[in-house]
Amino acid sequence: MAAIATTPQALKTLHPLIQSAVPVWVPPSLQHHDRSNPSSDGAADSHIQTYAGSLSDHLATLWPHHRAFIFCLAAGATTRLIAPLLQDKATDPAIIVVDASGDYVISLCGGHQGGADQLARLVATQLGATPIITGASAQQDLPGIDILGNPFGWHRGSGNWTSVSATIAQGKPVQVLQDAGSPLWQAHLPAGHPFQFGFSEASTAGATQKPSEDSSKEQTEQPTEAPDPQARIWISATQRKFEATSAKVQWHPRVLWVGIGCERGSSRHLIETAIARTCQASHFAEGAIAGIASLDLKADEAGLLDLCEARDWPLRCFTAETLRDIPVPTPSDVVLAEVGTPSVSEAAAIAAATSDPSESPQLQAPKLQVTKQIHRLEGEPGAVTVAIAQAQTEYTGRPGHLALVGIGPGALNQMTPAAKGAIAAVDAVIGYSLYIDLIRPLLRPGQIVEALPITQERARAERAIALAHWGLSVAVISSGDSGIYGMAGLVMESLSQAGWDGASPSVQVYPGITALQAAAARVGTPLMHDFCAISLSDLLTPWEMIEKRLRAAAQADFVVALYNPKSKTRLTQIETAQSIFLEHRNPETPVALVQSAYRETEQITITTLGALLDSTIDMLTTVLIGNASTLNHQNWLITPRGYLGFHRD
Ligand code: SAH
């Protein structure tokens, strides 16, 4: 990614990006400009680079090595600069334009496949700007059809993508025939979407039957009143051929595991040709290949390794002991005598298609779609056997990420830009429905959003981890700070119990303003001296422990924030807490009850320790109890910085 600024104002506007290590190119005249910026630091300076000569020449040299450009320049000037360099939306970089005052971030070009829409949203959160997305699908609250499968690692197949996108933009019905890959994207479409879901054609995919482009027709019964679809999308491992002009496209989820057996020294060319021929004969798309499976003896086979690297295919190898127990259609005694298993290609394909860690055991076993085929090439030494098995779950080829995000107390302007950026960036957002509603304006079309009831915290954590293991980037949201009585702890606990290696999936925790800070800010400065937080919820903590901490805090004169003070079923804990504090503190000690801070339903009550039970306290309330020095001045709670008039001379 690179940014470009040509004026001092533009450079200033891009400053937050420079701080997040985006390199910014400036003309020599601006070289020293940022150093005079008082908020500039040495680290930021190192991301500012100067170009000599014309910007258009410089852009031409940067173009092939960058996936995204951020111009803080007039949209017209940017358009002229990029015009000679644009080639194809499948390969062009993302182009976004930021206006000089940093109010708007325009996704100018490469919105879907280039990722410019997504980048514009992210940059907008960083600059506190409004993203401008002009693509039709965003207006319709739909995922771009040409980026639909990206979260799941699907490969975009052939077809007339422009025509299908145009049909969707016109709001005309579009038929979707999906027989492979996750249906998760279907669960998060807005009401009134244009898709008609056809029946699975799983039985026709594969080796036996040649799929004509219309092979699905007989099987696809639409309700009689449904209008005829004007475009068609296949999501399948099958390779379909259609005329360039027809409004038809295909995505290929990576569900095929290709089992390979080969003689030592078989060339990459031979193996690649064998796979291509097998796919062609069985009407499978090479784009649907998840990876290669073989015997561990082949883990150092040069041609195989070379091919896997070139095609970005993982190589899953299994021992002869594992393979020999797998029932296969074409076992061979010769192979058994040679390597200790009667089957390599068929057994390895089945083993790889089963060994996906995200595969749950109740799913049906993978299907061997193509039995062992032997390939040789004239003039080439070696022989290759190929078999293909289809997994239930696609291989995403993505590392997976968990963003543990604190969304702050309620209002979006109390949330950090980093947390907003994290939510804009992820494939999936998981959280309690009330919190999902609070951040709804930050969600984007096509994002997977799973709102679960408040009671199912563990289930939420497990679900997030499963999706991340599978390869998705997932934000788990909590109110306040995610690491303070929040979801982050549950997720980290579950990860550690599951033997997480600390790196995969990667984890990042985004802090948020916690309830005690939010509540304190609404009533003054009660936390100015030593304070502590105590949750009165005894669901996960024994009450004796809570009581012990209440006593200790009361005795030590901490300012105290009580979280979870009361719920529909827990009524007495707050009464006990009050009586413990009254043993050590004056009944006149100021107390604040802050309910739903920074939300529309916010309620604030300033009272005293003695009278605290006279006001409403519920599960959305934080109770702040002052220390011996805390004052109530005109209904503002003030805890002095110094303690009880103490001052060291
Ligand atoms: N992770 C959250 C705390 C969750 S525990 C945080 O860091 O704030 C839930 C408790 O937090 C509630 O019972 C209430 O005591 C407090 N709380 C959360 N949001 C609040 C808000 N907006 N106003 C007041 N109290 C809040």
> pLDDT digits over 587-603, tens only?
999 999 999 999 999 99
**Is residue 124 located within the same domain as residue 205?**
no
Ligand 1 pocket mutation, candidates 594, 622, 624, 625, criterion most atoms within 8 A of CB: 622
Ligand 1 pocket mutation, candidates 435, 460, 485, criterion most atoms within 8 A of CB: 485
List, as one string, the DSSP characters of 183-222: -GGGGGPPTT-SEEE----TTTSSSSSPPPTTTTGGG-PP
Based on the number of CB atoms within 10 Å of its own CB, is 89 exposed (0-12), middle (13-18) or buried (19 or more)?
Answer: middle
Give Cα separations from 290 to 157, 181, 400, 510, 554 (angstroms): 15, 11, 16, 33, 60
CA distance 124 to 131: 6
Ligand 1 pocket mutation, candidates 404, 620, 621, 623, criterion most atoms within 8 A of CB: 620
> pLDDT digits over 150-173, tens only?
999 999 999 999 999 999 999 999
> Does 396 reside within a domain?
no
CA distance 50 to 47: 10
- Ligand 1 closest atom vs CA 515: 8
Contact assessment for residue 479 and residue 409, using Cβ atoms and an 8 Å cutoff: yes
Contact assessment for residue 361 and residue 379, using Cβ atoms and an 8 Å cutoff: no
**Is residue 83 located within the same domain as residue 43?**
yes
**What distance in angstroms lies between residue 562's CA and the mean position of ligand 1's atoms?**
9
* 409 within ligand 1 shell (Cβ under 6 A): yes
* 479 within ligand 1 shell (Cβ under 6 A): yes
Residue 37: the pLDDT is: 54
> What is the span of the domain harbouring residue 28?
2-134
Number of domains observed in the structure of the chain: 5
Give the residue, by CA position, lying nearest to ligand 1 atom 6.
480
CATH code, domain carrying 60: 3.40.50.11220
Contact assessment for residue 625 and residue 560, using Cβ atoms and an 8 Å cutoff: yes
Based on the number of CB atoms within 10 Å of its own CB, is 356 exposed (0-12), middle (13-18) or buried (19 or more)?
Answer: buried
> Quick one: average pLDDT of 254-265?
95
**What distance in angstroms lies between residue 121's CA and the mean position of ligand 1's atoms?**
28
Contact assessment for residue 448 and residue 151, using Cβ atoms and an 8 Å cutoff: yes
**Is residue 165 located within the same domain as residue 201?**
yes
Phi, psi dihedral angles at 632 (to 5 degrees): -105, 105
**Is residue 405 located within the same domain as residue 421?**
yes
Residue 646: the pLDDT is: 81
- Is the pLDDT confidence value at 214 over 80? no
Residue 510 is encoded by which pair of tokens? 């985004």
| Half-sphere exposure in the Cβ direction for 420 (13 Å, CA) | 24
- Is the pLDDT confidence value at 52 over 50? yes
> Helix, strand, or coil here: 609?
coil
**Is residue 270 located within the same domain as residue 291?**
yes
> pLDDT digits over 633-642, tens only?
999 999 999 8
Residue 47: the pLDDT is: 86
Residue 566: the pLDDT is: 96
Give the residue, by CA position, lying nearest to ligand 1 atom 13.
564
CA distance 5 to 3: 7
* 253 within ligand 1 shell (Cβ under 6 A): no
Q: Which residue has the tokens 């062992």?
A: 372
- Is the pLDDT confidence value at 356 over 80? no
Residue 205: the pLDDT is: 39
pLDDT band at 644 (very low <50, low <70, confident <90, very high): confident
CA distance 524 to 269: 73
> Does 144 reside within a domain?
no
- Ligand 1 closest atom vs CA 483: 1
Give me the sign of the Cα torsion angle 164, 165, 171, 176.
Answer: positive
> Quick one: average pLDDT of 605-619?
97
Contact assessment for residue 189 and residue 142, using Cβ atoms and an 8 Å cutoff: yes
* 519 within ligand 1 shell (Cβ under 6 A): yes
Closest CA to 318 of 260, 396, 398: 260
> Does 644 reside within a domain?
no
- Is the pLDDT confidence value at 334 over 90? yes
**What distance in angstroms lies between residue 290's CA and the mean position of ligand 1's atoms?**
44
Asked which of 99, 134, 169 is the last residue of a domain, the reply is: 134
- Is the pLDDT confidence value at 203 over 90? no
**Is residue 262 located within the same domain as residue 385?**
yes
Residue 136: the pLDDT is: 85
**What distance in angstroms lies between residue 538's CA and the mean position of ligand 1's atoms?**
16
> pLDDT digits over 80-126, tens only?
999 999 999 889 999 999 999 999 999 999 999 999 999 999 999 88
**Is residue 530 located within the same domain as residue 483?**
no
- Ligand 1 closest atom vs CA 598: 22
CATH code, domain carrying 304: 3.30.420.180
> Does 395 reside within a domain?
no
* 589 within ligand 1 shell (Cβ under 6 A): no
> Does 563 reside within a domain?
yes
Ligand 1 pocket mutation, candidates 563, 593, 618, criterion most atoms within 8 A of CB: 563
Residue 231 is encoded by which pair of tokens? 């475009």
**Is residue 85 located within the same domain as residue 180?**
no
* 522 within ligand 1 shell (Cβ under 6 A): no
Contact assessment for residue 604 and residue 593, using Cβ atoms and an 8 Å cutoff: yes
> pLDDT digits over 471-493, tens only?
999 999 999 999 999 999 999 99
> Does 285 reside within a domain?
yes
**Is residue 352 located within the same domain as residue 380?**
yes
Entry pTM:
0.87
**Is residue 161 located within the same domain as residue 244?**
yes
634: DSSP letter? T
List, as one string, the DSSP characters of 141-170: T---TTTTTGGGTPEEEEE-HHHHHHHHHT
Closest CA to 443 of 39, 170, 85, 141: 141
